[in-house]
Amino acid sequence: MPFLGGVGAKFSHNLCFSLLSMVLGEACSIPNDDTLAGKAKDPAHLYQQNMIESIGSPEEIVKLKQSYGAWMVDLGNRTDEKIWIAEHFTGHIIKEYQDLNALWNGNYTTIELPWSYYGCGHAIYNNALYYQRVGRNIVVKQERNQERKPKNCLSIGKCSRMYLFSTSKSYFSIAVDENGLWVMYLSWPDAHIMVAEVDEETFSVLRHINTTYPQSKAGNAFVAGGVLYITDKNHMHVAFAFDLLLSPGSNATLVPVLAMLSYNWLNKHLHTWEHGFLIQYPVHFLV
């Protein structure tokens, strides 16, 4: 069951301050020329894969004022009912709700981030918030506990002058599925949708995958069962399915989506943020 709660704890402010010189990333106004290193995937890693057959009817969760934002649950913890909301496409405050009732009642606590986030593509996974640091090609891993980790900032790709998905005003979109953590970003200057497979523990990139799908045709995207699904510009259909584990894709039908699109593999629902409505859709897989 999703959305069943527990006791909250604050994210700590222990992140990247001491690590600036090590993993600074680029200031995103100045693109540079570093090349993407493709690494072979670890043959010992067991991947899970299945294809979507159809997507069910939307269920509206709540209506908020902002047109942009992200709503999140911990994609690593089935029993955690908490819901986090990052309003707008930039800010440094995350609202934490104990459960769905707290969301409906507007009863929340706030988490202040050391750096502002950018976009609507954040994710929470195993007690850590992953988000793009504003103005940098850096994904930050903000953990809830106080323990300092040697590396909490990951520089991915090059600074792009173009959004990954223009309607969500995001340069990165972070996804979690049965296989772990993925970061979608744009290659620059050729502007294709790329996916980095990220090791959660070491917080490092295992592989960079070029989906060969041009940004100009992409509406939004999510990862489910080892497959990347990219919607068309009107968010009406899945226009492209790319096998991140390398086998052929197929089409599925989708519903209109605006700012945010994220798949919750724990309860097999898509989460969206559409004109301020927080909505979820059940996803049915081919068996």
Ligand X SMILES: *[C@@H]1O[C@H](CO)[C@@H](O)[C@H](O)[C@H]1NC(C)=O
**Residue 79 interacts with ligand X (CB under 6 A): yes or no:** yes
**Residue 36 interacts with ligand X (CB under 6 A): yes or no:** yes
**Residue 77 interacts with ligand X (CB under 6 A): yes or no:** yes
**Residue 53 interacts with ligand X (CB under 6 A): yes or no:** no
Closest by CA to 167, choosing from 234, 243, 87, 242, is 234
CA atoms of 274 and 64, how far apart (whole Å): 10
Instruction: Say if residue 150 is preceded by a cis peptide, omega within 30 of 0.
Output: no
* Least distance between ligand X and beta carbon 212 (Å): 4
* Least distance between ligand X and beta carbon 234 (Å): 13
Segment lying near ligand X (by CB under 6 A), choices 26-34, 100-108, 132-140, 159-167? 100-108
Q: Which is nearer to ligand X, 83 or 120 (CB)?
A: 83
CA atoms of 70 and 262, how far apart (whole Å): 9
Segment lying near ligand X (by CB under 6 A), choices 23-31, 51-59, 101-109, 178-186? 101-109
Q: Which is nearer to ligand X, 119 or 157 (CB)?
A: 157
Give strand pairing partners of 85: 71, 95
CA distances from 283 to 68, 105, 120, 130, 229 (A): 23, 28, 21, 24, 12
Binding mask 223-252 for ligand X (x = CB under 6 A): ---------------------------xx-
**Residue 145 interacts with ligand X (CB under 6 A): yes or no:** no
Strands (E), 67-107: 69-72, 83-87, 90-97
Residues 114-143 touching ligand X, rule: CB under 6 A, are 127
Instruction: Determine contact, residues 283/263, Cβ cutoff 8 Å.
Output: yes
**Residue 253 interacts with ligand X (CB under 6 A): yes or no:** no
Q: Which of 50, 54, 105, 146 binds ligand X (CB under 6 A)?
A: 105
Query: Where is 62: in which H helix or E strand?
Result: strand 59-63
CA atoms of 59 and 274, how far apart (whole Å): 12
Query: Where is 100: in which H helix or E strand?
Result: helix 100-105
**Residue 215 interacts with ligand X (CB under 6 A): yes or no:** no
**Residue 191 interacts with ligand X (CB under 6 A): yes or no:** no
CA atoms of 238 and 135, how far apart (whole Å): 30
User: Residue numbers of the site for ligand X (CB under 6 A)?
Assistant: 6, 36, 77, 79-80, 98, 102, 105, 107, 127, 187, 190, 192, 210, 212, 250-251
